[in-house]
Every structure is written in C-alpha cells, then in structure tokens.
Amino acid sequence: MQYRKFGKLDVQVSALGFGCMRLPTLEGKSGNIELPEAIRMIRYAIDQGVNYIDTAYGYHEKMSEVAVGKALQDGYREKVYLATKQPVWLVNESADFDKLLNEQLEKLQTDHVDFYLMHALNRGSWQDKVLNFDLLSRAEAAKADGRIRHIGFSFHDDLETFKKIVDGYDHWDFCQIQYNYMDIENQAGTKGLQYAAAKGLGVVIMEPLLGGKLARDIPAINPLWESAPVHRTPAEWALQWLWNQPEVSVVLSGMSTMQQVEQNIASAAASSVGSLAAEELNLISTVREQIQKLSPIPCTSCEYCLPCPNGVLIPRNFAIYNEAAMYGDLEGARNAYKYWISDEGKAAQCIQCQECEPKCPQHIHISDWMPVIEEVLGLGRPYVMEP
C-alpha cells in the first residue's frame, strides 16, 4: 500500500480509503447489510494496509456505522483512522450536534472519531445549519474533550461556495469533495482541489468513479482505452488519474464485493504522484471529450438561460438527461432526477414561455426538451435522443 501526507497534519493515510456507503446487502435492501461479508471485506482491506475508513450517519439507512463498529472490533479500531459525518440537515438546535455525535460513537463502538465532517455542505446548510447553530464551536468542544480529533466537511455545491466555506473557518483540517476526470469543472473541481490543498487542508476524494459510471463498459470509449500501450481497466484509469495529482490525500472507494476490494488495493499499490506520462493524461482528456460528445443536448452549463421565470433548473435537468446517454445509465439518471432536483426545479415546471431560448448560445430548443425530460426521467417513458 502507498501512503500520502494528509494536508498540514502529521498523518500518513493510505492512498485508498474504504468508503462504507455501498457495502454488500441482502435482498437488494440498503439497510440490510450482509454483515459477515462486509466485515470480511473491511478487515481484509485493513490487513492489506488500508488505514482510512469512511462512513456516515445516514449510509445504508443508518446501519453503516453499526456495521463499521462491528468490523473494527478485535483490535482493528487501533489500526485505522475512522471518519464519519454530522448530518447537519437533522440539526434543529445547537444541542443536536452532541446528541447525534454521541449516538454515532455508540454505534461505532468507539470513544472517538479521528476525522469528523460536517456532511454535504452547500450554501444553504453552511449558513442555516453550521453558522446559525454555531456547530463549529460544538465541534471544537468535542475536539477538546477527545470525542473527535480533526474537523472537516464534505461538499456538494459550486466553486464559489466551496471557497467561501474553506475561508469561513480558520481551523479546518480537511475536506471531502466529489472529483474525478469528468468532474474537473463541476462542484469544487480541479480549482477547488488545488485551493484547499494550498490552504493546508487534506483533501479526501469521493465518487472517484462517479457512482460506478466510469467503471462501466462504454462501447464507444473502449477503443480509446485499448489503444494505450499500458493495459488498465476503465476503473484503474480513473483511479490512477486521481493518484497522479499531489493535492489528493486519499481516494475513497465504495466497494460492494471482495473482488472490487482486491482490484482497488492492487491499483493503489501501483500508484504514485506524477506516475502518468503526458500521453496517458492526453488519452484521459480525449476520453472525457468523447464521453461528453455522447450527450444528445449540447448544453455547456453557461447558465445564460437562468433564472427561469418559473424556477426550472435548466442546465441541471439537461446534465442528468445527458448522463443517461453518456454512461448508459438510464435508471441512475431517473434516480438523480427524483432525488437531486427539487420539485420546483424539475423540467415538469416548464410552461413553454420560451423566454430562455434567445439567451442560449448553443441555440437549444429548451422548451421542446423539457417535456421530454419529464416524460423520460419523471414518468419512465423510453429514452430518446431528440425531442
């Protein structure tokens, strides 16, 4: 296993971290974790040198922390850095911070968490929850009494908001961002990664394979991978691209099978900063461009179409619809549409006023696409490549 420095901290973390959001389950039920296999996988990873274990209050219908707590018995707790997250959306008063943290410690069967994150911060939760209820003071008190060791946050919003949160507290130790070779300009992106690292923060990477999409067999892309002089699976290319960057501290992988654990550990063992040649980096850039070309809607997310007078989040609707074609994942796109766009922002709210269309540099017939998006993603109609 390769180890990397964790920002300004005197800590060495394994290049690969075990993300406990996609543990094996029974009967397809998220909360019904296959405990013996999950424990076997986590302990195997630790035995092979993985020393960063990441979970959260809500993962697996609140059962992930329980499973991790069981896996870290028999001496395994002392071998790892344990990370979990405060579900800030459940905080309605300052005292809720300690109530939730103490519940987590009990489920994890430990007296402390090494890395504690404010979970999934965005501009709203940063202001309405973290600042409004003074949760950082609560975290500092928990750090002082030994229940947590280091304070950080995970993030889902834009670069401007990311920088505001990084600069909004002087004692962040680390952050966790969604980042992969397709997300270089999405959310925090490459600029956010470099910004946080320059401030001395350890940077934890989540969604390195974009929820498994970058590990998929994409027929239009396969010839590009096969043209490389070095053979790697699509998943390996995505992981090595991340480990190539010095600002990356640890890459989390949500592993569901022992085979995935074994493959990712082998890939991590072969990783290092600056290991990819210029030709290999160019190949990944070409793959990114070709995947983007699979999109039926030529939206560049410039947002000239916003604000929509009826509140439709036009670029976000387009992005989710495009992803169904880019990665061959219609079901995933439907879930994203259901859970990651508010009802007020869905394509269904379009009233065909066409106010947005003259503003679009790509000349997209937005009013034609919106009902299609709602029918396909919201109502389950067959996918189409044109309105």
The tens digit of pLDDT for each residue in 97-128 reads 999 999 999 999 999 999 999 999 999 999 99
Instruction: Give 75's pLDDT tier (boundaries 50, 70, 90).
Output: very high
The string over 247-285, giving b where at least 16 C-beta atoms fall within 10 Å of a residue's C-beta and e elsewhere, is: bbbbbbbbbbeeebbebbbebbeebeeeebeeebeebbe
**251 and 309 assigned to the same domain:** no
> Reduced to 3 states, what is the DSSP secondary structure of residue 55?
coil
Instruction: Give CA torsion, residues 267, 274, 81, 184, to 10 deg.
Output: -90
**49 and 182 assigned to the same domain:** yes
Structural domain ending residue among the three candidates 284, 306, 322: 284
Q: What per-residue confidence (pLDDT) applies to 28?
A: 84
In a domain, 289, yes or no: no
> The domain containing residue 135 runs over which residues?
3-284
**110 and 246 assigned to the same domain:** yes
In a domain, 259, yes or no: yes
Structural domain ending residue among the three candidates 233, 256, 284: 284
CATH number at residue 70: 3.20.20.100
**209 and 248 assigned to the same domain:** yes
Rounded to 5 degrees, what angle do the CA atoms 314, 317, 321 make? 140
Q: What per-residue confidence (pLDDT) applies to 303?
A: 85
Neighbouring CB atoms inside 10 A of 93's CB total 8
In a domain, 214, yes or no: yes
Query: Distance between CA atoms of 15 and 218, rounded to whole angstroms?
Result: 27
Q: In whole numbers, what is the pLDDT of the chain averaged over residues?
A: 95
pTM of the predicted model over 0.85: yes
Residues 269-293 have a mean pLDDT of 96
Q: Are strands 52-54 and 202-206 parallel, antiparallel or unpaired?
A: unpaired
Residues 42-69 have a mean pLDDT of 97
**139 and 164 assigned to the same domain:** yes
Query: Distance between CA atoms of 48 and 32, rounded to whole angstroms?
Result: 26
**128 and 272 assigned to the same domain:** yes
In a domain, 36, yes or no: yes
Instruction: Give 203's pLDDT tier (boundaries 50, 70, 90).
Output: very high
**23 and 152 assigned to the same domain:** yes
Residues 258-274 have a mean pLDDT of 97
| Number of compact structural domains in the chain | 2
Which of 56, 55, 58, 142 lies closest to 94, judged by CA?
Answer: 142
Structural domain ending residue among the three candidates 251, 284, 317: 284
DSSP category for residue 130: I
| pLDDT tens column, 23-49 | 999 988 889 999 999 999 999 999 999
**66 and 139 assigned to the same domain:** yes
**312 and 277 assigned to the same domain:** no
Percent share of the chain, pLDDT over 90: 91
Query: Distance between CA atoms of 176 and 152, rounded to whole angstroms?
Result: 8
Q: What per-residue confidence (pLDDT) applies to 217?
A: 87
In a domain, 316, yes or no: yes
**133 and 232 assigned to the same domain:** yes
Q: CA 145, 146, 150, 156 torsion: positive or negative?
A: negative
Residues 284-292 have a mean pLDDT of 95
Output phi, psi for 294, to 5 deg: -75, -10
**Counting every residue, how long is the chain?**
387
Asked if the model's pLDDT at residue 361 lies above 90, the reply is no
Instruction: Give 211's pLDDT tier (boundaries 50, 70, 90).
Output: confident
| pLDDT tens column, 218-247 | 888 999 999 999 999 999 999 999 999 999
Q: What per-residue confidence (pLDDT) applies to 378?
A: 96
Instruction: Give CA torsion, residues 129, 130, 131, 136, to 10 deg.
Output: 150
In a domain, 234, yes or no: yes
| pLDDT tens column, 153-183 | 999 989 999 999 999 999 999 999 999 999 9
**170 and 99 assigned to the same domain:** yes
Residues 302-329 have a mean pLDDT of 92
In a domain, 74, yes or no: yes
Residues 2-28 have a mean pLDDT of 96
**106 and 240 assigned to the same domain:** yes
